[in-house]
A and B are shown apart, each in its own frame.
Chain A
């Protein structure tokens, strides 16, 4: 069932069907929230909040934009607001799920060092640039879609993404071989 069909039915009273949208988008929203907050609990909260807000505001969703665009906007506003409030106190969780069990202790340490360096480099990007990087590189969204989500021009989305890549290249210099022209 397409998003707009689900929404119409939820609006008409099939409230339980909203869960279809939750299951359809929660993974992608969690990945985005993780990228932005680098904390599992905060990222899960952000996903939950986004869906609660979307559900409560569903009557105001009139289909001018795609549901996913609208949902992302809600989630990002929540996340950016959280970042502005300085709630992101814990960085890059040490999550046992993420440690590769087949690695030797030395390899695991090296892996962890890389993981932290990447998380730190990403954290150093301004929040909006960080989100744009994630949506463009990980989700392979078009600049037109990203521009719509943020209410900015396509040119601004491209510039943000390109600056993000260049900053990451500089921050991760020590982990990458190569030199300029």
Chain B
């Protein structure tokens, strides 16, 4: 077994992820192998060392509860054509995500809600994007390829973009209704 794969086995052992037979096989090996015992100790020591990065003293945040802002909100936000996709989020009354559609090769994000601020809407969109593994991978590979930060590019649509998007949206909605 290579040094790398043995090291990985030791990590899985420390993480309690070996099954009973793998564990006893490893423990038998450790009894007779000084080098592996030493590596196991080094891995344990590495984990202990990470405590040197303990957070500083924290006394808590200031918190004052205020009524959440409720504003009529309608805003288009746009993510550039990452490997992203068309994401349609229609959220009505905060009850449920009614529609969510992802389609390759488009880069639009639209959030509709009647009780979110623009920032909250954006955060929600980003959150939903982040929950989609395939999409995240697409975005990551986009970022690797073009070395750009797509999140900093997300912005409100210009009138022209909005008009273009409205057309696209209507088309999608009609397709959904038909299907």
Contacts and interface: CB of A to CB of B under 8 A. Distances in A.
A57 B3 contact: no
A152 B132 CA distance: 9
B49 A180 contact: no
B68 A55 contact: yes
B67 to A, nearest CB: 7
A97 B11 contact: no
A169 B7 contact: yes
A145 to B, nearest CB: 14
Interface residues of A, number: 63
B7 A180 contact: yes
Contacts of B4: 166
Interface string A90-122: 000101011000000000000100110011001
A162 to B, nearest CB: 5
B27 interface: no
B11 A84 contact: no
B61 A178 contact: no
Contacts of A6: none
A114 B52 contact: yes
Nearest to B36: A181
A168 B46 contact: yes
Interface of B: 3-4, 6-8, 11-12, 14-15, 17, 33, 35-36, 38-39, 41-43, 45-47, 49-50, 52-58, 60-63, 65-69, 94-95, 115-117, 120, 123-124, 126-127, 130-133, 143, 149, 151-152
